[in-house]
Structure formats: structure tokens, C-alpha cells
Amino acid sequence: MRPPDYLAEAETVYLLWGELRADDPDHIVALRRDVPRNPGPDLWLVVRAERLDWGEPAYAQLLAQAERWQAAGNPVVGLCVDFDAATPQLGSYATFLADLRRRLPPGLKLSATGLMDWSAGAADDDLAALAGVLDHVVVQTYQGRETIPGYAQYLPSLRRLELPYRVGLVQGGEWQAPEWLAGDPEFRGYVVFLTGD
């Protein structure tokens, strides 16, 4: 499938590289077998995780793959974890991310996808813990392939985030930006989830 023309204008690409599934804490299932050679926009390798008690082999696999992709000439700037941490467990998630951050080589950044409810309902301490380990968070306004109904009611709480954030949109979904968003110093733009439709 030929990528959409607007990908050529993207400054950054988040590529779903692998999944750490619930039945195996030691192995990330690679969703791309071949390593492309793409000197294009900055690249974030995304790992979708179904659990947080990763074994040492999973960490080693992830870091080795990031190095392999960089060695092939790809501008991998960071890793992004996609895990739907419930708001009451955000502190535990921040602890996991802090441990992952300590394992990263210098120059490799760390991001995570986030639920809109985090900024609306999380404790201040938990949000501060995230801010201490993430370079930015991608706040998802969608679930699956659909925009979350009533997403606009969550948007004012994004100003509670004390770290840079991007707003995640789904291709073809609903979106109307609030007037204040462009002026928020922590807002870093949009990430569009491509559905292949």
C-alpha cells in the first residue's frame, strides 16, 4: 500500500513496531520483520504493552532493535509505550516508565500514549511523576478507530499536565481545537493515527 501523500510532510512518525502481550513478559512480538532504510522524518518506535512486569529479555530486545534501526540509517529519536494505564494506577505506571528511562542510552527519548482521563482525574503527584520521566505524552482523543464521544469536555484539563504533550487524533475522526490550545506552552502539535482506510 502506498502511504498517503501527507506523510511526506510529516515532521515525526510514530511506528507501531511491536507488542508485549499478556501471556509473555519476556518477548516483544515484532510487527515488522524487516528494518527499512528511511532517512526521512524523526521516528519513534512504538511498543504496545498489555502488561508492565517486563522481563529482562524484553528490555534487551527493545534496546537492541532501536540500535539496529538507527544503524540502518533510520532517524530513531525515541521509544513510545502504548499502555492503557487506568488513572488510579498512574503512579505505578510512572514507576515502570522511570525504570525504562534509566535503561535508555543517552540521546534516546521516551514518550507514552495517555488517556484523556489522566489530566482530568489523576492525582497531582502522579502527573508530576510522569513529568519527571517522559519527554512528552500523546493524549489519545480516540478509542479504536473512533473519536471518543464528548472528548471536548476533557480538553480544558490538559492544562494540568506539567509536561509537553501532543494530541492524538484518529484519521477521519472528529476534532475541534479549543481556542486556548495553540497558546499552551506545553502543546507540541498533533499525532494522527492512520487507520489504512
In SS3 terms, 90-104 reads as: HHHHHHHHHHHHHHC
26, pLDDT greater than 90: yes
State how beta strands 142-143 and 146-147 pair. Answer: antiparallel
- 55 versus 37: the higher-pLDDT residue is 55
The DSSP letter of residue 15 is E
pLDDT grade for 38, boundaries at 50, 70 and 90: confident
Split at pLDDT 50, 70, 90, the class of 5 is low
DSSP-assigned letter for residue 41: S
Are the C-beta atoms of 166 and 138 separated by less than 8 Å? yes
> What mean pLDDT, rounded, does the chain reach?
92
User: Is a pLDDT exceeding 80 seen at residue 25?
Assistant: yes
Q: Please name the residue that has the C-alpha cell 508492565.
A: 52
58-92 pLDDT, tens per residue? Answer: 999 999 999 999 999 999 999 999 999 999 999 99
pLDDT tens-place string over residues 159-169: 998 899 999 99
Q: Which domains does the chain have, with CATH numbers?
A: 5-193 (3.20.20.80)
Residue 184 has pLDDT above 60, yes or no: yes
Round to whole Å and give the CA distance between 113 and 83. Answer: 7
Q: For 105-148, how does the pLDDT look when each residue is reduced to its tens digit (9 = 90+)? A: 999 999 999 999 999 999 999 999 999 999 999 999 999 889 99
pLDDT at 1: 37
What is the structure's pLDDT at 2? 47
